[in-house]
Every structure is written in C-alpha cells, then in structure tokens.
Structure 1
Amino acid sequence: MPWRRLARILWTPCSDLRTCRGVGPAAAPSFSRLSPRASRCTRHAARWRCPPVPSCPRRRLVTRLIAFRDVTMVPCRARRQPWPDRHNHRQGGGTAPMTIDADFAQVRTAFDLMDTLDRFQTGDELRDALLGFLRGFGVTHFTITQLPQPRERLGPHMILSHWPQAWLAHYDRNRYYRHDPVGRHCFATLDPFLWAHAPIDVGAQPLAARVMGEAAEHGLAEGICIPIHDVAGFQAVFSAAGERLELSPNARRAVHLLAYYAHGAALRLARRRRSGPRAALSPRERDVLTWLAAGQTLGQVGATLGISDATATTHLRRAREKLGTSNATHTVVEALRQHEIRL
C-alpha cells in the first residue's frame, strides 16, 4: 500500500533523510530501523537525491508530504522507469531530479522568509524581502491591496505596493478597477489563479481587454493573483506580475502560503503607523463625517453644507488618510470610536 510506505518514510528520523543526496544505492544511509518493505521504498527515494529536510518538525512534515506526493506515491514495483536514463541523470540524461531539487529550494526559501516577516520594522524592508524571493519566479512587481468601491480611488486602499508608479496613476485616474477582470474574479474564487485564467465578461466589462493590454505595456504581461479571505469574506488581494512568470505547481503553493503571511505582516506595519501621532480632523471634515453617519450620501452632504460634491469627497479623503481607513463606512466607524464625531 503506497500510503503505508509513505507513513513509514514520514516517521523516518530526520538524520537518515538529511544526508540522502547520492545517486546510487551506495550513497543511501542506514535503514536498519525500518522494515524490509520500508527500506526498499526509502532506498528507492534515496537514489533520486532527496533534498535536505528542515529541522522544524512541522516544516519537515510539510516538505516530506510535498516531496513524496510527487516522487513516491506510485508503488516501487510500478516505478521501474521513473524517467529516462535514471542512472545517468548527472550527465544530462534526465532532468526531473534537478527540477525537484529546484522546487524544494524554493519551498525552503519561502518557509525561511515566513520565519523572518515579523522582524521587519518598515514597509520598505518587507517589500525588498518579498521582491527578492519573488524575482526567482520572474516577478518584477507585486502589490497587496484592498479593492475599492466603484466611486472610490485605489490609492488609499494600498497596503503594500511595488507597482509601477506610471501604471498605478494611469489605472487609478481611469478607474480601471471597474473593468479589471482580475479584480472582478477575486470576488468569485477562493483559489489562486493566473491572470490569463480570469474570465472576461465582454458585456459587463467592455474595457477588460484594453486594461490587460495596457498592463502588459507597463511590464505586467503575466501575473498571479491570490485572493485573501477570512471568516468575514474577501479582505485583500496579493498580486504579482512580470514579463514572463515561471511558476511550477510547488512554487505556486509556496507563493500562495507566503501571500497570507505577507498580508498579515503588512497589516501589522500599517496598524503600527496608524497608532502613532496623527493630525486632527478639521471642523469641516467632522461635519462631513457627521452627516455621513446620519445616513446621507456625499451628494446630500454637499447640499446640506453648501459645498460641491467634489469638495465633500476631498474632505472625506483627507479624513480617511488621517484615520488610516479604507472606505467611507470604515472612516465613520473609526471617527466614532475615537470620539471625533458624535451622533
């Protein structure tokens, strides 16, 4: 039974598998503590240069699960020819072992990076660390952001961004998030997806193809998107892009897990910035928030206060920046919580 063999291998002491980097039976470690069936299966895995196993028990288990799902889930007797020239792959006969080694190196690097995310003190440090890891997959830009409402700007919703500034300004100025098929698909799925797999509704999003084409002109030709959800529903999106991405299935899983850790670290840094001293709200900003709390729209607030809709929107934006909030409702709630306004 493959699962029984897998269970025995998973409980093999770490020192046995960590040194297993040879290409023949002579390089395999001692398996005296295993049953004969487990020894045969483990030696077979040893022949194909199993990568070093991390010292942390949880990461060791995850790494082995990924490894043996890809390599040893097929029974030994059925794996007579795992790939061409199995005894001479160091001389270029077979490429699968080297591919597996590269995948494991990326997974180990992702786990190591997750261990250090909480140590960064600034957004720039976090941004540089994430970009350094993602460049190995062809990623040149990434962003962690919430998605705005149809009448809102994208800028205040950015949590951490390394997006091209020219594209970000062009995207925000033209309100492209209303036509972006990637952003729209984030609300419809829990799973990571490639930009190319985002469905386009020509009727609802007539400018969708134009948005994707102009993104490619700014160096964002291919991308991967990870929607971030919690019990309350959709929270944010982690999106990474470049001219050409190289993401194996294991690499996608690593980026998926890293996105959640990065989102949490970016939120902690954002809250730390907001907890410091901030500018007080102006009397007019308090008036706008008070009438919004009473249930009026921005147009009604402008008419009540004798100002234009654009001016009312500007006051709301400034109040949102001071309070560190993401939308009008969040701003009103935060202003009430901090006793800036009263009902």
Structure 2
Amino acid sequence: MNPLTAALEFVESINNEETPDGVSKRIGELGQSFGFTSFCLAAIPESGASFDGSIMLSGWRPEWQQRYLDRDYVQNDPIVAKARTASRPFLWSSVARDRNLSAAAQQVLTEARDYGMYDGVCVPVHGLQGYQGMLIFGGPEVRLNEREISVLHLVGIYASNKVRELVGANTNRPRHRLTPRELECLKWSAAGKTSWEISQILSISQHTADWYLASAARKLHAANRTHAVAEGFRLGLIR
C-alpha cells in the first residue's frame, strides 16, 4: 500500500475509535504494514523519573516491557535521550552508530535485539505546555525513505493527540497511569475473575494476564492483587 494512503486511512480510522485499545490496534496494524513488529506510545518522563507511568499504549512483548521497567532502562536508553531534543523522526541505527554511547546505553540496544528489535524509528511528539512524547516502532530491519518517515511523523502526532484526548488526562507527569490492558485486567480481577479466566476473556496467555496485574499493582504501590483492586476503586479507576 502507498505509505501516504496508509497514513490517511489510519487518521480516518482512529477518528472513529472510542477507546485507547482501539487506537492501539490501529497503530499495530499500520506498523506491520511498514514491516515493524512492535511499538510503544508514551510520554517522555523527566530525567530520573520511572517509565512505567508514562506508557500510554504498548505493543512491546510483555517480557521485554517487564525487563525494561524492572531494570529502569529508561535512564540509559539512548533512543529516549535523543527523543527529548529531537524535532524530527530518527532511526535507531543512527543512534547506535554514535561512538560516544555509554556501555549502559549500548546494553539497552543490545538487549532489545534479543526481543526482535534490531532497528526502528522514533517519532518525537511535542505539544502544549512543554509536553514531550514519542511513538517508537521496532522490528528486524528498517527500510524507509524520507516520505515514509514523514508519514510516520504525522501518525505519531495524531495518535498521541487522539489517545490523550480519549483518556482526558495530563500524561506529561502521569501518576497511577495504567495502560488500557492493565486497567482492563484489573477491572476483570475486581469482578472476581481469576488470571486464567481473564486470559480466556482477553485472548492472552495466563502468564501475560499475571504480568499485567503485577504491573498494575506496582504502579498503584499495592502489596498484592486485592490491594491493587482496592486502590483502583479508591482512585476512581474502577467504577
């Protein structure tokens, strides 16, 4: 498909989406049409801040996302570092070639390859009141021309604005910010469903359901799943 046509169809399609999960599905489909296997739409956290509350939509493999968060890789991720100052989309490979990268930064890129992300493109998103975000696509290799990169730039800006509009929250300094999947799993848990039952309802593995619930509990500073559900009700996340 012509890249411009794909972008226009994407913009038109997410205009009709009413949930972040719907936008997430559209981003994943568009990414696949460009040869990408993963994506992440997020606010860029302030230096020293954690990344878990900044993720708006995630198309990362759960194992990689858990590793990234547990090891606080955002502090050394050279892609995030460049996204803070970049105004145009850039390829991961352009960052990887920098001979001044620290060993910690090189380690993040090396481990990403273990999860199938050998290269990618990062789309910086800048908004009102100093908002900074990014849409990251990753995959086995990147073969994009300037026109295609410009198309992804448009997609990143539009998708970010759409999700922020849907959640109706300030995602620049998010607290207790659960991803749509985490919140969905938490709501089913509140309804008395087990991890296995949640996995069947959402068509995911039981391991993945457990991971989403554990991630939600961590973000809510909860000691366990029951505590996380209670915090969800207290904060108005579950109604």
TM-score by length of 2: 0.67
**What is residue 60 of structure 2 aligned with on the other side?**
163
**What is residue 209 of structure 1 aligned with on the other side?**
106
Following superposition, the deviation at residue 120 of structure 1 comes to 0.7
Per-residue CA distance 1:28-61 (angstroms, 9 max, x = gap): xxxxxxxxxxxxxxxxxxxxxxxxxxxxxxxxxx
Counterpart among 153, 163, 174 of residue 256 in structure 1? 153
Counterpart among 217, 232, 235 of residue 132 in structure 2? 235
CA distance in 1 between counterparts of 2:40 and 2:103 reads 25
Counterpart among 97, 107, 123 of residue 4 in structure 2? 107
CA distance in 2 between counterparts of 1:258 and 1:142 reads 12
1:1-343 aligned at under 5 Å gives the runs 105-198=2-95, 200=98, 202=100, 205-271=102-168, 314=221, 322=235
Following superposition, the deviation at residue 177 of structure 1 comes to 0.8
Q: Which runs of 5+ in 1 are unaligned?
A: 1-101, 275-312, 325-343
Secondary structure of the 2:66 match is helix
Counterpart residue type for residue 267 of structure 1: R
Query: Percent of counterpart pairs with the same letter?
Result: 22
How many residue pairs align between the two structures? 179
Change in CA separation of 1:231 and 1:152 when aligned onto 2, cut-off 3 Å: closer
Instruction: Please say if residues 14 and 22 of structure 2, whose CA atoms lie closer than 8 Å, have aligned partners that are also in contact.
Output: no
TM-score by length of 1: 0.47
**What is residue 23 of structure 1 aligned with on the other side?**
none
CA distance in 2 between counterparts of 1:178 and 1:323 reads 30
Instruction: Please say if residues 179 and 206 of structure 1, whose CA atoms lie closer than 8 Å, have aligned partners that are also in contact.
Output: no
Q: Please say which structure displays the higher CA radius of gyration.
A: 1
Following superposition, the deviation at residue 227 of structure 1 comes to 0.8
CA distance in 1 between counterparts of 2:131 and 2:120 reads 20
Over the aligned positions, Cα root-mean-square deviation in angstroms equals 2.7
Q: Which runs of 5+ in 2 are unaligned?
A: 170-176, 178-219, 223-227
Instruction: Please say if residues 35 and 142 of structure 2, whose CA atoms lie closer than 8 Å, have aligned partners that are also in contact.
Output: yes
Following superposition, the deviation at residue 150 of structure 1 comes to 4.7
